[in-house]
Each structure stands twice: as C-alpha cells, then as structure tokens.
Structure 1
C-alpha cells in the first residue's frame, strides 16, 4: 500500500453501476455531518477499484486518499495497520492488545483530516492480515471520534470475516446491455458482431475480463478476418489467481467441488450436503486420483442454517487437524457463501476460474466424487454425467446409459441438464453419425432451455457429419428456430425452408413446423409475400393456425378469423400455446391473448422450458398494451426483457424494448422512450426485424405528440403509414394511423391525414383492434366540418364505453374539449377536459395529463393550479402560449397546436414579454420553470 493520492487523468465511463454510484455518493455527501463506512465486495475484476477511483476523483468537499493493498501486507500480524498508519503520517505504538491500537489509529485519522472532510479509500483489504482487518473494523465503528472521516473499503469475493459489522454492497456481473456498452467504448466501431457476442459471452459480465480479452486480440481477430484463439482460459485464471493463491489442499478441494457441482445447475447454487459428502470421498481416498488424508469430515446437515452476509465458514463443511478452523474459514468465506443449505460463488468468473485452473486429474477426481454421492442419492442422470466427465476416452456403454437417461420422459430433469447429458454422451461415442445425432438432440434441449447460442454452437459441430436427410433436416429446423430468436430473419427463414425440404418425406409433422417457422421469420421481417409462400396450400399438414393466418393475410379476414378462433379455443402447451396467443392477437381477442400467454409463461417456468417464457411474456405485454393497460404491459415487458437477455434471445429482447418504449411514450418519459427505442432499433436493423422497428418508431412519434410536437410526429409517422417501400410492418402500421391523423391534422396537413383514414376504416371493419372503431370516428371528427365533428366526437365516446383502457378515451375527450373551447362552448369544454385529465391521471399518462391541464389553464379553470406571481398577470391564452414557447416550440408550431394564426401568436407573445419583463425566450423558459416547481412538490 502506498500513501500517495492516486490521480486519474481521464475519468472512465462507468456502465451498469447506478445504485452503487448512488450509495458511494451518499457516503461522500454526508461526510461533513455524518462520518460513515461502506465495504464494496465482488469477484476479481468486477469493478471495485473503478468505483473507488471514481469516489476519490469526484470528492470535492475535502481531501481524498486512495490506498491500495499489496499481498505482502498479509504475511505478518498488523502489517496492514502499519502501512495505513504510515500513509497517514503516524506509526501506532507497540501495544500488545489490539483494542488499545484503535486510539492511535483514530488520532492519525483525526490529524490527517485536520478538521476538514477526509475520504479514505482502501482497495483490496482482503489482502491484509486478519488482526489488521479486525482493528480496522473497530476503528470504523468509532469513526465519529476521528471527525469528518469517511471510509470506503473494497474486498474481493464476499465480505471477509473482518472488518465485521460494516454496511456491505456486493457488485454482481454487469447486465448484458451494459457489458455491451462497455465493450463498445473499448473497441473500434468495426468490431465484428460475432466476435462481440463471443467476447461478451466469455466475459460473463466481468469488466476486467472483458477488457483483457479485447486487449489481447489483434485487429484482424477483432474485425472477424482471423479466428479467435481457442484457449482464453489463461486470461480467466490469471484474473482470479490472486484470490486463489495460497489455498490449502482442503480449501482447494472444497472450491473445486463447488465449482464442479455448479456446472450442471440451472441457477447459481450447489447443494452443500452433496459437496460435503463428495469432499469426504476425496479425503478418504475412495475416488481414484486422490490419496486419503486421514482427516474426518465435518458432517453437513441437509439444510444448513442462515449464516448471515459474510459467507460460509469452511468449518461447516470440514474439520482440519493441521490448521485452525478459523483460518480455514476465513480463506473460503470470501469466495463461497452458504445460504439455506446452498453454496454460491462470489461470481461466475471466479467459479469458472477455479474449475479451469485445476489440473485434468483433479477435475476428473472431483467429477468422480460427485458421481458417487449422486448415485447414492438416486440422482441417476447427474451421476452419469459426472461419470462421463471423469473418464478419459470413448465409453459406448456409458454413452448408451447417458442417452437413455436423457431421453427418459419420466425423469424430472430440466432441458438444460438433458442437453448437457446428450452432449456428454456424444463425447463418449466413436461413431461420427451417432455423435451428430446426440449433439442434435442436445441442441434441441438447449433451445427448450432458452439457450439459442449454445444450440447453434452444438449444431455447428454436425454440419459435415454423414447423417440421413431426416437428421440433417432436424438440425436445420433447430438452427432456423435458434436464429429466429437470436439472428437475422433472412438467415432463419433460409434454414427453416431447407429443413422443410429435407423433412418432407420422412417427418411431415416436423416439416410443417419448419414451414410455420419460416412464416414467422417472414412475418418478423415484414415480408408478406414470403409469409404467404410459407403458408401455401401445397405444404403438408396445413393446420388451423397456418390455414387461418394465410386466409387473413390474403384478405379473407372473416374466414381466417373463424379458423384462428378454433386455435385459440384449443388446449395446447409449449409452442402450441404461443400459436394460440398469436392467433388471439390476430383476431383481436385481447383477453384470450393475455390468458393464453400468461399460462404459457407459467407452464414454461414450471417445466423448465425457458425458451418459451420470454416470447410468452412478449405476447402478454403486447396484449395488455393493446387493451390499454399500459402499466401492466410495462411490468410484463420488463420481466420478459430480463428473461430474454438471460436466455440470449436478442430478437425477443428487442421486441420487449419496443413495448417498453410504447409504454413510456404514454407515461411521458422521453429519456426512457429514446433509450428503449434505440435498443430495439439497434437489433431490428441488424437482424431485419421490421415489426419491432415499426413499433419503436411509433413510440418515438407518440412521445412527440404527447409533448405537443405534432409536426415532428407527423414527419416520423408519415413514411410508416403511407404506401411505398418505407411503409411500416403490414400488421402494425395500422395501429399507428390514429396518431398520424391527429399529428397531421394538428400540423396543418389535413390532406395527408384523409388518405390514411380510408386505411383505418378497413382495419376497423376487420374487428382485430377493439379500439379502432372509436379511433376511426375520432380521426374523422378531426377532419370534419364543424356541423359534423360534434356528432362524430360524441359517437366516438360512446364506442369507447364498450372497450377497456382509459388512455384512448382520454385522448378523444382531450381533442373534443379543445374543439369545444375553440368554439366558446366553455362549460362543455370544461367537462370534457376535466374528464380527459382524470383519464390520463388514472393510467399514468403524465405528459398527456399536462396537455389537459394546459387546456384547463387556458380555459381559466385548472383545478389546483398554482401560478407564480408573475404568471398571474397573463391571460389564460397568454399563459398557454408562454408554456409552449418555454417548452421549445416555435411560434409557427404554437399556432398549429392552438389552431390560430402565427400573427396571433406573435401578438400574444409580445404582450407576454412586456407583462413579465423578460427579453428573451431563455428568460421566459426560466420563469415558467420556476412557476412549475411548486406543483412538482406535492
């Protein structure tokens, strides 16, 4: 550790650490009045040092001292303390009892602070000796005696046993989008997408590993011209080496067994009872490759008690005669935690490093020990898998056992475990064709488990294998299905059509599945002819779903809807339930779509069919959105996005981003709309997802419309709803027509709007959108002469009574209220505008509610409105114009919004400037912002 303050010339961009940055900032901000301490933990390379650097760099209230520990400071008692005291300019006295050393340390901190705030950042305190950590913890609990001192610590792994009692903040892996953003910061924009994906997958959310992996690649490897090196494990093990250095054989065995057991789990936990029993097998020499040690193991209970936040003491798993149990516990507790009988590593990179860093003989011994325990417990599939990994060569009989166990329908094994079993059996086979069939089965189970990238990697190994057409067709079906979830739609469709051609003779049902998948790919791409071609009558086994969908796409809507309703009514699971949900969306039965999609997600979770869950949640979120339940749609899309990112389904994740952008456009969150729309469009453009792109563009336009910017909204929506090559997706663009008509009418482009109303009329007649009939009348009212508009608005409101959702009704009330106010029918206008305000507030449409409030202010009857003293001088119309101008609108835009001339706006704005004594729009914006602040603090 050095006593110098670390300076960083350029601040690195920190991704995905918002809560952690806020916690660190709270500690720093409270320093002058409230001294405190915080311990940051996490696996090596997770970003602890970056956060400490940021805290030291951004601390401006006083002095910040950033000190880093060194391994040699853990060799002798109190070495860490001596280094700290020296850095502070003091040396603690020679006192035998640790408690007596607290006073000199507090005095040194007090002198270093000298009455001003001091932020002391200590990195890697796990490298300190135990007595120094104990003393530091005692001093941290008495920090107020040292003055305005803050203590920010970091330790690798989980929190070490000391310093105890401090608030702990654990840093986990970066979410996939944040890891991707970090990689984009580190690399050239020409980074090959496939290389980017592989780096992100291998780094597993660890920033330092991601940086190290990217840094070791040549330009030719980064842009995809040369293959990546096969062995990247040396980078992995080098990163974790400092944490694993100096472990005793017993500690190393415990960590290796835990890491080995975790290779086959669905989550992040391993059964502590199984690991403890396997450790006993290793230590008594009952597994080949390990000699008996003579140490009796400590029995592990079937359900261990909760041990708090500091991890698992190794004494709960083994009793060592040669070493004190306390020292053994301290070494392991930083890396592994025991909670409710389950063992968990501090992070996935650390777990992988433990396994990769062990010798092949030690790994085989660990697998053999776990196989013995699992066989004894009756977990045959896992036991066979570990036996396979403990071997050293082909074993046909074991491969047959493993294949039979993976195929057994009575087994409760999840798809991911079955996939591992099939892949393990393939490694034991000598016949190339048999291996290819096993890997194809492994890919199928990986796809069911929601792992499309793993499925594609397995399928790549069977490309040139000598297999029958039926096996190759099945492989292409799986390839196309995986690419449909995470790849270009054109590639997916080509693979699926190839599969259909190969399967037509021997597997007609699978051929039908392939053609349906090809239609899905064409649908996602907005390729109507391609979708119809995939649904042609000549295809075998034309089921109700394909027959009904084909009729709808050909314009025979009533006939198609009747057939699709049979699909909705049928009981189905897995992919069949997704078809039923899709059919319900096509025919406009939103309650059925919500019900079927929710059931599909629940069944998928229960059965371990994780591949279904993100897509089911996408259908569910979309159904809720179209039903007007935007908050529920947002909740389902947020869950679906997490599931899709975890499963590597980037296409599905993009769909969830689009739904979230639409929900945010209603709730009035411009930053959220822009962020989700950008994420959706990034994947949509790369993979050809026309439907997702159309939804994202619609969300951006609706956000413009909600903020009173109809010209921008009309410009964005025009290409999507007009005929031509830029028209939006054939199944989505009609949903955006009401927004376009409103935007075009308010922007002074009624001719453009009239052309779109005819298309909306045909869509409303189909009956697939419950809101469309009322929206159609609203659009006609916007364009109608005064003698007809009143009746059209009234009829639209009557139709809204037959549908759910407050948002669309409130939009009609708002437009009707504006129309009434312009015609001086003030009492009626007040009623409509008040109803619009209530409707917008009830569904959380804040920006739209502000529009209604603005109209009520202009009317002079805004409920609960609080005006600044200066704004009280304005008339309602002047107040309204002032607010639009303060929001950035030009005079011409204000005139369009208010349906007045530009000269009228000019006249009122001059009077506003004179009344308020301001000379520029900037001053006006500042004054209006101050006027709104009291309303923001209810």
Structure 2
C-alpha cells in the first residue's frame, strides 16, 4: 500500500463529491468548494489525489504561506502565473488592474474587485478550450487581498467550466465564509486502526492502540507521524496526545532534532524562503557555508523534496523547522536570503528578509520597509502596506520619525479595515514627542475610525476638534477635516441632529464662490443650518450647478464620494427639489464605481438610484437595481444595503415584507447612531401606511422625520405628512407643512416643489385649481408616482364633493397608472374610490414574465438595449460566458431564438 493510498483510506464519499464537481465542469458548470478540517486530517491529500484524476483539465494552483501573508497579491500571482499569457485577451481596464496588482505595469492603485473581475475572465478564457481546475491549499495563510479577490471570483463563477477548491484549517481566520463547504473529518475507527497498524514499529497493546485512535480522532497525519516520533516506552505508556496540531508539530520537531545542525539550518532556510525557489535556496545555502551533505541529509529525512520548487512534506514541517530554530539562526538565514534576493525584481521580499534579520533599530532597513509600503499601496495592497509600516515603526530609532511612521501605519490599517489594530497603533503615537499637527492628525484618524465603526455622533465631535487644532498649522487639511466632520454630522441626523449639525456648521468656513464645488457644497450646507434654507439655497444651487459641470476621474472617488453618491449629492439635490441633478449625480457615481471596480460604493449608488426610480414609477427598473445590489453583496461578502429594496416594498404596499424590514432597519441604525438611515426607514413607513390607508400611523411616522429636519428628506416626507394629516383632521399640521414648503418654493421654485405645494394647498383649502396646478407642475417632471397620487387625491376630493362623473375620470386614470406601475396599495385605494362612485373595477393581479429571475430579466434588458455580452459582463461583474448562459435560459423561457427578438418579447425601457 503506497503513501497516497494510505492517506486516502476511507475517503470514498469525499472523492465522490469532488468527482461530481469535475464532471459538472465538463458540461459547462463551475463549482466551488472549501475543504475545512484540522491540521493533518487529509485536505491536501484529497487535493493531490484529485490532480491524478484530472489529466484532461488545465491545472493552476497556489499554496498559502504564513510568512508571505504580508505581501499583497502574492497568492493570486502564484495561481495566475500559468495564465498570464492570456492577459491581452482581457478588456483594457482589467489588463491594467491586473498588471498593476502584479507589478507588471505602473498605474493607480487598482480596486481589488476590478482585479477580481480580471481573474474571473482570465479563468473563463482559459476554460474556453478545456475545463480549469484551481487548487488553493492552506488558504487561511493567503495574503488577505488575494483571499478577498478569490472569494469574489468564487461567488461569481457560474458557467465557466472552472472548479475552484480551497483547503482551510479549522480555527484559523479566512475570507471564504459563505462559500459551499465540505468538512473533512478523521477516519472511522476501522480505517484508523488499519492506518495505524501500517506504521507501528511492532506489536502494541490493543488498549494502547485504541487509545491512540480515540485521542487522534482518526486524524491520518497524526496516526502516521506520531508513532514515528515516540519511543518504545512512550508507545507502551500510551503517550498522551495533548493538543493535536501541537503534538503533530512536536513529532516533526523530534525528527528534526536528530538531524545534523547544518541539515537543520538548510531546512530552516527553506522554511524562511516562501517562494520555494531552488535557485534562491542554494544561493543562500552557499552564503551560509552549507555544502552538499546537509542537502543529502534533508532528502534522507523525508521531510522535504528538492526540485524546481521546494516542497515540505507538510506545512507543519515548515512551521516546526522555523519555530524550533534559535533567534540567531533565524536572523542569519534571513540575512543570507536578503543578500541573494534581487533588489530590482523583488525589493519587497528583500526588505522583509532584512527586517527579519534585524534585531535592533536600523533606519536604513526601516526606510526600505517604508518604500515597500509605498509600492504595496500603489498596487492596492493596503494590508501589506500597513504591515510594512508597522515593522518599519518598530525598527525606527528616532522617536519623532517613529511616531510619524506609526501614524502612517495606523492610517493604512484603517484603510484596510483593521480598525482595532489602527487604534492600537495610535496609542503608540502618543508616546512620541509632542507635535501639534501630529496630535491633531491622531484625533482626526480616531474620528474617521469612529465613523467607520458607525458612531457618527462621536466621529463628528472628534473631527471638529481635530479641524480646530489643524487650523493654525495647516488650513488645507483643516478644511478637509471640517468637511469630514459635517459629513459625519449629517449621517448622525436624528433626535440630536439639530445640536450636532449646528455645532458642526458653526465651525465650518463660510462659502466662497471661488471654492471647489465639494467645498462650496458642504459649506453651503453649513449655512443651511446656521442661517436657514432661504439664505443657503442660492449657494446650494450654485454648488450643484458647478458639480454637474466638473469631469471627475475614477481616482477622485474618495474625495468626491459624498458628492457623487447617494450620501450627499442626492441629499443636497433633493434638498433643493432638483430631481434631474440628483439622478445625474447618481448615474455619475454608478459609472465611476463601475469603472474603478469600487463595488461597495456601487452598492450605495444602486440603492440611491433605486430610491429615485421609485419616484419615477419604474418599479421594474428598481427591482433590477435592488437585485444587482444583492448580487454584489453576495459577491463581495459585504453586508447588503437594503434601503432601495425597503422603499420598493413600501411603495408596492407589501406590508408582509416591508414592515419587518422597516422595523429591523430602525432598530439597527438607531443602535449604531446612524440616525439618517433610521429616519429613511421611518419615511418608508409613512409611505407604506399612506398607501394602506392607515393615516394615523403614516402621520406619526412622517412627522417624526419632519420634526428632526433631516437634510434632504424634507422633500420626500412633506407630502406624506400633509396627506396623512389631512385624512386625520389635523388641519394645524397641514398648515405647518404648507408654510414650510412655501418658504422653500419661493427660494427654489422647481416643478417638483411647486407641484407638491399646490397639492398641499388643495388639501388644506379644497381649491380645485390647486389640484389641477399640482398635476400640471408634476406632469412636467419624471415623477410619475407623484402625478398619479395627485390625481388620486383630486379624485377622492371630487367624490366627496358628490361629483361622481368627474371623480371617475381622475380615479380611473390614477388607478390605471398605479396598477400598471405596480403600486398595488395606492391602486387599491383608487379602486375602492371608484367602487364608491358606482363604477365596477376588476382587481388586477400581478403578472410575471415567463418566470424570468431578476438577474435574467436584468441581463435580457441590457441585451435588448444593445449591449454586447462583454459589456454586460463588465457592468454586472460576471464573465461573458455567464451572460451567454443566462441569455440561453432566457431565450428558452421567452420562446425566442435571438437577441433581435428581445425587443418584442420584453417591455421597452422606461
């Protein structure tokens, strides 16, 4: 029985699962699986056995190496190296992203998800001829950015004929949660006994054997390796197992301890060299004065094999060889490896080896690590940059310079999402010599981290304090920090919002027409809270006008994010009742996010666009945007942003779905001091209950948002408040709403604002001309739902006035429009009113289009509108092969055979 056979004893079920994935790949289906289990349980053996059964597949593989976790994209580069001759087949943005990430070209730091799309298409292209088998062993030790990219790829695979297998160790953190898993357990007792008997040096008391089987839990590596390291006495005593992975590693330590010192030093050198590069190993061995004998001894030990690539028998051998070595030997080995590593082609690995070889502070090494951090950051490796900077800090001798590097390391940690680590580093900055600018920057970074953690109120206060401290020393950075503070204050909008915003607004510099649009806009917002809407409105309008004229590149996403996305551009545009500009900026943010691959920001843009599309009445477009956001959340592993979906269900009147979503959002966002989002959910609650005719609930919800003066939400909620108040007899509240809105339409007289003002005036005064003006004003906008709601209210008033014939015209139009758009609750209100006029109205049932899924409908719509498969793939972050697969299914469901027939089979775009 050979070694491989012994290792695969009792693995028929696991092999059946893996063979099923290979079989599916031959028919055009991709498969993803994460093999989970403790060290030594046989994950690697299963992957190796699969290689022997997949000669018809193109094999690409990578191994996570603990010492390489600091090097950005190192694992991904291992995997993609055999495929890089296909990089020219990728679209230009993907070529540039992948080339920059791998150091093959210079360029701006690529977003890791654009790199992920490039890898996805690289695999898809390679699988065009033969299926591709990707094996990633010890995935828990991949550098984090590689792991994130591969997790993204795994979530987007569908019809590419790619099998992607990961092996991860239990108890270790990794980025693969949510992917399909197969737990690899120990062998059953019978198989474990058979394996143990095959390696025991002689007869053993059956009770001792049973104890070994029980305490190893059938772990194959433990069953094979532990007896080799035990003496006859220990076997007779039934040597206790202890912590299994620790004892397995200890067994390797025992085998290493009996080797000659030079052989151990060679194995240590191999353990410290993460690439498995034979040339580097032998060059370093020569530096250390190691001859041929150590290599022969290492081969005889069976713990390592030498070829084009150096491979240890098991990762625990590598860790045992490294951990058992003295600090002096480790430093000597890293020094030798640094000497033989090319500073031109591998400067970062050389810097890292030099750092590991250095025990005392050394400015030259610290500066080299700082340069490595800059290179890592330039190719999108914030995690690696943070680690380089942290080690650079440790080796910096001069206190002030050490504090500066610690601050830079903390900023990089924050950028990579390691918020607790960033805060820990900031504590070290405080130990340095006092410096007013650095101290202010520390407070600023603490405020930014507080905002990232969802503590918007605390963030606003800390950022304001930092801005004041920066003002005398660095006005430019102070101005940016004031803007950050205002943004945090806006997001903290809630019961305490007036105080927080007024505090932030009072500190911001006054607006100047020559300021950049971003500065002018937030400074105008400050004016809004210090001097009121009427004073601020011209400045806000001017800032929006300038913002619309500025061409923004993808490298400006960070500084323009609040402006171009749904966070503040829409806030301000809606604040001044400018729907067209709000939509224009949302589309711009979506384009920028797509082009840069910033998928998290794309989720925000899609949600904001979905909210705007609700007002246009195009609920099919809203559903497509919500579905894309859901798909992106699944692909990235980030939490789903559900605001667009929440408002969609509220406008549909789907109480069963909307009510729990609204309640959960209010509770969660309130707990995280995100008052703005809690207010949005409360606004959606007002919409839901106005549609359902529960006006007291709608009034209370709308009034809660209105009284908080949540910037940008007034335009959305004022109509809900007035409608509900009029239906509950609260005339005073309707008067308040009209006075509030009249002030705003006087300053910003848009068709949207004037249409809602005329509607509220009609509700208050029963002025028929006001109803008509409302419909006319709104009819000149794209706000179809608002037009239909004005017609509904006009028809309801006409019926109460006893004018049944006139009422039927308005109610019939409103009912038809609301039903066609899918606003079922409001349509039901119109139907009941029509019945009260004596007209018979059949209740419409929702229709589906041949059971297309949301993604199929979205892809079909894009194809109908003339986009090619690669263009659709780039927009939706999937591969062209997956687009083709969805279209084939769509054609079958629609009973058509070509893209040209989609125009007849699908409704025209709104």
TM range (shorter): 0.5 to 0.7
Secondary structure of 1:345's aligned partner: strand
Tell me the equivalent position of 1:185.
none
Q: Is the CA contact 2:725–2:733 (under 8 Å) kept in the aligned structure 1?
A: yes
Given candidates 686, 690, 694, the residue that maps to 2:671 is 686
Provide the rounded CA distance (Å) in 1 between the counterparts of 2:490 and 2:71.
36
Provide the rounded CA distance (Å) in 2 between the counterparts of 1:423 and 1:251.
41
Tell me the equivalent position of 1:490.
457
Matched, 1:833 2:831: no
Name the one with the larger helix percent: 2
Distance 1:562 1:257, change over 3 A: closer
Tell me the equivalent position of 1:561.
540
Provide the rounded CA distance (Å) in 2 between the counterparts of 1:779 and 1:520.
32
Provide the rounded CA distance (Å) in 2 between the counterparts of 1:352 and 1:593.
41
Q: CA deviation at 1:619?
A: 5.2
Aligned-pair RMSD on alpha carbons? 5.4
Distance 1:242 1:131, change over 3 A: closer
Provide the rounded CA distance (Å) in 2 between the counterparts of 1:381 and 1:629.
54
Provide the rounded CA distance (Å) in 2 between the counterparts of 1:275 and 1:390.
31
Provide the rounded CA distance (Å) in 2 between the counterparts of 1:377 and 1:863.
80
Q: What is the CA deviation profile of residues 716-749 of structure 1, one whole-angstrom value per residue up to 9, with x for unaligned ones? A: 3344435xxxx45354245312112212222343
Counterpart mapping for 1:49-68 below 5 A: none
Provide the rounded CA distance (Å) in 2 between the counterparts of 1:269 and 1:621.
35
Distance 1:249 1:860, change over 3 A: closer
Tell me the equivalent position of 2:166.
345
Provide the rounded CA distance (Å) in 2 between the counterparts of 1:393 and 1:629.
65
Q: Is the CA contact 1:547–1:563 (under 8 Å) kept in the aligned structure 2?
A: no
Tell me the equivalent position of 2:298.
none
Distance 1:508 1:530, change over 3 A: same
Matched, 1:814 2:783: no
Tell me the equivalent position of 1:503.
470
Provide the rounded CA distance (Å) in 1 between the counterparts of 2:815 and 2:626.
26
Tell me the equivalent position of 1:592.
581
Provide the rounded CA distance (Å) in 2 between the counterparts of 1:539 and 1:254.
56
Q: CA deviation at 1:273?
A: 4.9
* Structure 2, unaligned runs of 5 or more: 52-59, 85-121, 138-153, 177-244, 250-267, 281-308, 310-339, 846-910
Matched, 1:657 2:638: no
Q: CA deviation at 1:809?
A: 1.0
Distance 1:479 1:314, change over 3 A: closer
Given candidates 365, 376, 396, the residue that maps to 2:273 is 365
Tell me the equivalent position of 2:753.
772
Distance 1:499 1:410, change over 3 A: closer
Q: Is the CA contact 1:452–1:648 (under 8 Å) kept in the aligned structure 2?
A: no
Q: Is the CA contact 1:363–1:390 (under 8 Å) kept in the aligned structure 2?
A: no
Distance 1:250 1:595, change over 3 A: same
Distance 1:596 1:745, change over 3 A: closer
Q: CA deviation at 1:492?
A: 0.6
Secondary structure of 1:366's aligned partner: coil
Q: Is the CA contact 2:460–2:489 (under 8 Å) kept in the aligned structure 1?
A: yes
Matched, 1:843 2:824: no
Matched, 1:696 2:681: yes
Q: Is the CA contact 2:665–2:678 (under 8 Å) kept in the aligned structure 1?
A: yes
Q: Is the CA contact 2:135–2:166 (under 8 Å) kept in the aligned structure 1?
A: no
Tell me the equivalent position of 2:504.
534
Tell me the equivalent position of 2:834.
856
Tell me the equivalent position of 1:670.
655
Q: Is the CA contact 1:402–1:422 (under 8 Å) kept in the aligned structure 2?
A: yes
Distance 1:804 1:396, change over 3 A: same
Provide the rounded CA distance (Å) in 1 between the counterparts of 2:462 and 2:637.
19
Provide the rounded CA distance (Å) in 1 between the counterparts of 2:723 and 2:697.
12
| More contact order relative to length (CA 8 Å, sep ≥ 6) | 2
Q: CA deviation at 1:378?
A: 7.9
Matched, 1:578 2:561: yes
* Structure 1, unaligned runs of 5 or more: 1-73, 78-125, 138-154, 174-205, 207-236, 278-299, 316-332, 868-938
- Greater shift, 492-501 or 419-428, is seen at 419-428
Q: Is the CA contact 2:25–2:131 (under 8 Å) kept in the aligned structure 1?
A: no
Matched, 1:242 2:46: no
- Greater shift, 680-689 or 250-259, is seen at 250-259
Tell me the equivalent position of 1:932.
none
Tell me the equivalent position of 1:422.
389
Matched, 1:711 2:701: no
Distance 1:802 1:337, change over 3 A: closer
Q: Is the CA contact 2:62–2:76 (under 8 Å) kept in the aligned structure 1?
A: no
| TM-score, with structure 2 as normaliser | 0.56
Secondary structure of 2:642's aligned partner: helix
Matched, 1:760 2:741: yes
Distance 1:426 1:679, change over 3 A: farther
Q: What is the CA deviation profile of residues 504-523 of structure 1, one whole-angstrom value per residue up to 9, with x for unaligned ones? A: 23322111111111112222
Distance 1:745 1:672, change over 3 A: same
Total equivalences in the alignment = 613
Given candidates 367, 373, 376, the residue that maps to 1:400 is 367
Tell me the equivalent position of 1:524.
491
Provide the rounded CA distance (Å) in 1 between the counterparts of 2:347 and 2:740.
58
Distance 1:498 1:819, change over 3 A: closer
Distance 1:710 1:391, change over 3 A: farther
Given candidates 706, 716, 724, the residue that maps to 1:721 is 706
Given candidates 272, 277, 289, the residue that maps to 2:79 is 272
Q: What is the CA deviation profile of residues 208-246 of structure 1, one whole-angstrom value per residue up to 9, with x for unaligned ones? A: xxxxxxxxxxxxxxxxxxxxxxxxxxxxx9756635486
Q: Is the CA contact 2:486–2:504 (under 8 Å) kept in the aligned structure 1?
A: yes
